[in-house]
Amino acid sequence: MPTPHLEIPKSFPPFDLIRLLQTVFEPAKGERTCVLIDLDDPTGVKDFAFLKNTNLTVQKYAHDIFYQGLNNGAKKTLALTGGDLYAYRTTGGSNLDLDDLAIDIHGNHLSFEKDIYPKYDIILCVSTYSATAPLTASAKKHGFRGATLHGLNEIILKTGLAVDYNEVSRQTEKLRLGLTKSDWVEIDFEVTGKKATLHLDLGKQEAQKSHGLCRGKTPDVANLPAGEVYFVPTNASGQMPMKFEDGTLALLDVKNGRQVGGSFLSGNAKTLEAHVAKLKRDPVTGELGELGFGTQLLPFSGRDIQDEKILGTVHVATGRSDHLGGHLTPDKFAEKINATHDDILYAPHKTPEIQLKQVRLHRDGKIQVVIENYRPSSYLQNLLA
């Protein structure tokens, strides 16, 4: 008897900052917390001047929901201290290192390394670009815990951040156990009538999970919304389609674990030319450093931070991988600005031109289909039963 297709819940509980912080961190009495935002000009945090810019919606959520939420009740209820707000200069790319300069609401110039990282127990970063990689490295150095919530919008607030992360953790672990220690994964695509297959070697590694819980004294940073099982590939080969930000479609060639070139399909040919030139100047920018599977039943938000966590989607990331247990650190890039970790998400709303025909893995001597046409297979659905 076939397993019925899993459906997104029709309603979610109201967002509750106290519940979220309690569930994710189980904070101890007196732990000190702060909120970080990014601004093109970080001096704009002084006297909350940035709130006058209606384009800064993510930063406004940081102020209204997290900063004010902490100081108008959550801090007292959870017996936390701090509740401060700091701004840093926008990095311009996903997971690029942060400048050391941080500015507080009084306009004071401070140092992350001296004044913030060593003095806070829980750091919440609500930003334009993901800061998960640099904050994870700093957490291991200084001993704090944290969460990154880049690209926050109303849909994420009402769905991906409103769920019970105890349940997310349980469901993600069920899927992790069904995917772990795989030999390889293959992804079949079709785009503009052309077929392609990407083969990723996993070397029987233990699968990891982003499940939203960041408890105890172990330094760590949760990426919220969470709900993902992921691997750091040991090698990769074949072809993978890519939809660039301007809508250009290309088919990229992958050899020895890296993108090495590609063929133009549609859009602006110069976009692909620029990407291939970057691969030649700085080859590690094309290294495949992550393979991830979403585990949650959520609506698409238009932001990868939530959409890559949705069951039936798959993403491959290039570049920096040290925050995931990989070897690629920022110092290995030819140019500092290239030391990003860039997710390439395959999802029906984002890449409708790209058909995700099938995703299958080889594990315990068997081949298991895990996704077909952006739908979780019976194998995945049975794991969740």
Q: pLDDT digit string (tens) for 306-344?
A: 999 999 999 999 999 989 889 999 999 999 899 999 999
Using CA atoms, how far residue 25 sits from 33, 131, 165, 196, 323, in Å, is: 11, 18, 11, 42, 19
| Helix 17-25 with 165-179: angle, nearest 10 deg | 40
Using CA atoms, how far residue 16 sits from 80, 81, 223, 298, in Å, is: 16, 19, 18, 17
Question: pLDDT-based confidence at 1, cuts 50/70/90?
Answer: very low
Asked if pLDDT for residue 4 goes beyond 70, the answer is no
| Model pLDDT, residue 5 | 58
| Model pLDDT, residue 7 | 84
Asked if pLDDT for residue 3 goes beyond 60, the answer is no
In 3D space, the residue among 147, 291, 298, 143 whose CA is nearest the CA of residue 212 turns out to be: 147
| Model pLDDT, residue 383 | 95
| Model pLDDT, residue 86 | 98
Percent of the chain with pLDDT over 70: 99
Q: Give the residue-averaged pLDDT of 256-265.
A: 97
Phi, psi of 275 (to 5 degrees): -65, -45
Predicted TM-score (pTM) of the model is 0.94
Asked if pLDDT for residue 217 goes beyond 90, the answer is no
Residue range 83-107, pLDDT digits in tens: 999 999 999 999 999 999 999 999 9
| Model pLDDT, residue 314 | 97
Asked if pLDDT for residue 79 goes beyond 50, the answer is yes
Asked if pLDDT for residue 37 goes beyond 70, the answer is yes
Residue range 139-153, pLDDT digits in tens: 999 999 999 999 999
| Mean pLDDT estimate for the chain | 96
Cis peptide before 134, with omega less than 30 degrees from 0?
Answer: no
Question: How far is Cα 265 from Cα 345, in angstroms, rounded to an integer?
Answer: 18
Chain centroid to CA 145: 17
